[in-house]
Amino acid sequence: MTSKSVLTNSKRLAAYKAVDNHLDSSTRIVGIGSGSTVVFVIERILQRGGLKEAENEKLKKLDVNNCVFIPTSFQSRQLIVDNGLNLGDVDQYPVIDITIDGADEVDDNLNAIKGGGACHLREKVVAEISKKFIIVADYTKESKVLGEKWTQGVPIEVIPFCYTLVLSSLKKLGCPSPNLRMAKAKAGPIITDNGNFVIDAHFGPLDGTKLFDNGNRNTPGDMMKQIKLLTGVVEVGLFIDMAEIVYIGCEDGINVKHIKKGE
């Protein structure tokens, strides 16, 4: 297997495991995260619903026609609609049974960096109203300290009018070179699903060794609060203490490990 297919396989393994362990006949309202790993969540849901063929497996059936799927981005909405699943929104379903989402980096305490695809605002809303929030990721995402592996920076959604102010506020907060995220096939910055910009701010490993004048430290939780308070910031891609369980597809292409709250 090439390293690319090992990676893809580990995403698939984690996604399948989460769907198999947590979606059953009582599941009704399902939040669908965004990104490349979530594609396999939908794939497994379709297999479990008998809408897509599964390889050599007798799968426990899922009554997908009785489920409603809540998207976290344009991409996840398309996944839901294109596959003929029932689409809902947070205003119709203010409480969600379970949400499965990807992450850019996850630590041992189940804190995560998200927003590599600029979807973290809606992802956070959906996660927050979910009774169960589950993360699925490949082995490259696991780390001891957030910021060790995802070095492109914490994604921060900002109001366009405020981006220069937020850039300078982030420098004052200790980020040497925050970047306005630029689009690849469009001139200028990327625009989120909410019409905003994204700034990526790398503060180094968020290991708690730095003490700010206000008594905060550079822990994921303190950084989340401090960044969120900056004028112009809409949402920060730090998900603190939100996930109940994280599934990580291993590099061997066979096993899936999990990290569970309280274990």
Ligand X SMILES: O=C[C@H](O)[C@H](O)[C@H](O)COP(=O)(O)O
Binding site for ligand X (CB under 6 A): 33-37, 101-104, 114-120, 123
Where would I find the H helices in the chain?
3-22, 38-48, 74-82, 120-128, 163-172, 220-228
Query: Which residue's Cβ has the minimum distance to ligand X?
Result: 35
Residue in 43, 55, 105, 123 annotated catalytic: 123
Min dist CB 4 to ligand X, Å, is 13
Min dist CB 155 to ligand X, Å, is 7
Min dist CB 125 to ligand X, Å, is 13
Region of 35 (left: φ > 0; alpha: ψ -120 to 50; beta: rest) is left
Min dist CB 189 to ligand X, Å, is 15
Pick 77 or 114: Cβ nearer ligand X = 114
Give DSSP secondary structure letters for 193-249.
TTS-EEEEE--S---S--B-TTS-BSSHHHHHHHHHTSTTEEEESEE-S--SEEEEE
Pick 35 or 71: Cβ nearer ligand X = 35
Q: How many CA atoms does the CB half-sphere of 71 hold within 13 Å? A: 19
CB 31 within 8 A of CB 70: yes
Annotated active-site residue 55? The verdict is no
Pairing of strands 245-249, 130-138: parallel
**Closest Cα to residue 86, out of 71, 102, 101?**
71
Pick 119 or 206: Cβ nearer ligand X = 119
Pick 2 or 208: Cβ nearer ligand X = 2
Catalytic residue positions, numbered:
123
